[in-house]
Structure 1
Amino acid sequence: MPRFAANLSMMYTEHDFLDRFAAASADGFEAVEYLFPYAYDATELRRRLDDHGLRQVLFNAPPGAWESGERGMAALPGREAELRSGIDRALEYAAALGSPRVHVMAGLVRPDATPVERAEHRDTYLANLARAAERAAAAGVDILIEPINGRDMPGYFLTTQAEAHAVVRDVGASNLKVQLDLYHCQIVEGDITATLRRDVPTGRVGHLQIAGVPDRHEPDLGELDIRHLFDVIDELGFDGWIGCEYIPRAGTSEGLRWLDDYRSDRRNNA
């Protein structure tokens, strides 16, 4: 049965961040993810996890100057030292929080970048990911990369599943994996059922995320048949987590009917 993690950067925003752990637990979540932990002391975050019986399953490495519009730096030549420092910081938090996964963002590339420049970005990306994966392997942590749609994040270096899987193959590190967000995938390329059936069995998919398309609200709102996709994920035996990375249309708890119904149906059919 698919396992769901609440994304505390998007869900429960009606509460202060540190109070979102309790709210997620009260709604039956057993795990959480979020963008960045670095504004908070790791011991305080760990206490919130422990107090509410939650597991930390994912967060992002430092992305550069996020407030100024940066979205990672792993594919940006000249930022190698900053990235290495960020990976070290992320792994310190991963150890404290017990998180087995860290997402490393690629960064934004000029839309008029030449083929030669894009090749330089890719070479930088591969080298940085190889170093990050080697460092993370010693800590028992997986490094994840995620294709992101260009509508929400114009200029992001990595946009398609094929590109992401090619990067993972070229780096060749067993702990470098793809973060498959069904929302981004549907917007960029669609054909999600076939994508799941093609990619999940490879072992290169380390984490899934969901949201409704096109508005990024609850996953049962919009054009995706989310119950069908859950059945496909279940059929494939995916044993990771599905992050609920969506913006609730109204209150978070009030919008969880999709999850309550799914859990109820699975219990009744067990």
Structure 2
Amino acid sequence: MKDPARYAANLKWLFTELPFPERFAAAAAEGFTAVEIPDPYSLPAAQLRRLADDAGVRTILVNTPPGPAGSRSAGGAAGVPGSKAEFRAGLERAAEYASTLGATLVHVVAGRRPDGVSRDRAFASYVDNISWAAAQLKDSGLQIVLEMQNQRNAPRFVLESQAMAAAVVEAVGEPVGLLLDLFHLQVQDGDLLTNLSTYLPLTRHIQIGDAPGRTEPGTGELAWHRISSAIDASGYNGWFGCEFQPQGGSAGVLARLLEAR
């Protein structure tokens, strides 16, 4: 994490004091060279590409689209039984956006297990959908990344542990890898340095945030200098998505990240 060029501003979490189209230029002004757009679907992909190009930043990641608010798939359709058609349409839409934006990573959001649906049934639906998605994107140049989310903040999320996410990656194979979210990993599994050594070999993307409140690194319980050293020593050469609530506001956030490191 020594190179500031490897930090990507998550435009859902940073620069929220600005209208969304203005966040690209704000990220660039802070020194970011890349952005994540978790939910880009409110604007045409071509318009988003122009905003990124004009600001001089690249888009590296998009999420698959959520279902309608209040629906069973509002948190993602991949692990929701009976949502196969919705999932497939969403995956195709995400791939189209990623291709237009020049992003290489598509985060396939697992979603939350609906009431009355067993863990085993939801997980089986998820694995089936990920296998289909991997076959569709195998020769596209896009990478699928899978993220565990902690049960405190995302109750009934289908991927309940990092081990579950890793098992799917290993079972399905290319082009699937892990999105390792350090905030979720600490809250759900703990033992962060040991888990990093276990899961970094499968990791294509890292998102950062301190625990317990998902604030910026250096404001919570995590020893970021030790985490940074462990990641650097692993040889990981991907991006670090800044998916956290900046305690001091978005202005100056990149400088504070480098200081926390």
Alignment TM-score, normalising by the size of structure 2 = 0.93
Counterpart code for 1:149:
N
Amino acid at match of 2:226: H
Q: Deviations over 1:152-188 (max 9, x none)?
A: 11111112111111111222x3111111100000001
Can you list the C-alpha shifts for 1:71-130, whole angstroms capped at 9, x where unaligned?
A: 1111112111111111111111011001101111112114665xxx32222221111101
Residues 262 and 220 (structure 1), Cα distance of their counterparts in 2 relative to 1, 3 Å cut: closer
**What corresponds to 1:163 in structure 2?**
164
State how far apart, in whole Å, the 2-side matches of 1:10 and 1:254 are: 15
Q: Give the structure 1 partner of residue 46 of structure 2.
A: 43
Q: 2:227 aligns with which of 226, 229, 239?
A: 229
Which residues of structure 1 form unaligned runs of 5+? 264-270
Cα RMSD after superposing both structures = 1.7
Note the C-alpha offset of 1:241. 0.6
How big is the shift at 1:140?
0.9
- 1:217 matched to which residue of 2? 215
2:94 aligned partner: 90
> Contact conserved, 2:30 with 2:253, CA < 8 A, in 1?
no
Q: 1:104 to 1:66 in 2, by over 3 A?
A: farther
The equivalent of 2:9 in structure 1 is 6
Q: Is the 8 A contact 2:216 2:257 kept in 1?
A: no
Partner Cα distance (2:257, 2:219) in 1: 12
**1:108 alignment partner, SS class:** coil
The 2-side partners of 1:231 and 1:67 are apart by 42
Query: Within 2, Cα distance between the matches of 1:77 and 1:111?
Result: 11
**Percent identity of the aligned residues?**
41
Instruction: Provide the C-alpha distance between the structure 2 equivalents of 1:249 and 1:215, rounded to a whole number of angstroms.
Output: 10
- Is contact 2:21-2:51 (8 Å) kept? yes
1-side partners of 2:208 and 2:41: how far apart? Answer: 24
Q: CA distance change for structure 1 residues 17 and 28 in 2, over 3 Å: closer, same or farther?
A: same
> Does the Cα contact within 8 Å between 1:249 and 1:255 map onto a contact in 2?
no
Shift of 1:138: 2.5
Give the structure-1-normalised TM-score: 0.90
Does structure 1 residue 136 correspond to structure 2 residue 137?
A: yes
Aligned-partner residue type, residue 84 of structure 1:
R
**Residue 31 of structure 2 corresponds to residue 33 of structure 1:** no
Map of 1:48-127 to 2, 5 A cutoff?
48-66=51-69, 70-110=74-114, 113=117, 117-127=118-128
Encode CA deviations 1:206-249: one digit per residue, 9 max, x unaligned.
Answer: 11011111111111111001122111111111111110100112
SS at match of 2:86: helix
TM-superposed CA distance for 1:262, in Å, is 6.1
- Structure 2 portions without partners, runs of 5+: none
Show the counterpart of 2:256.
258
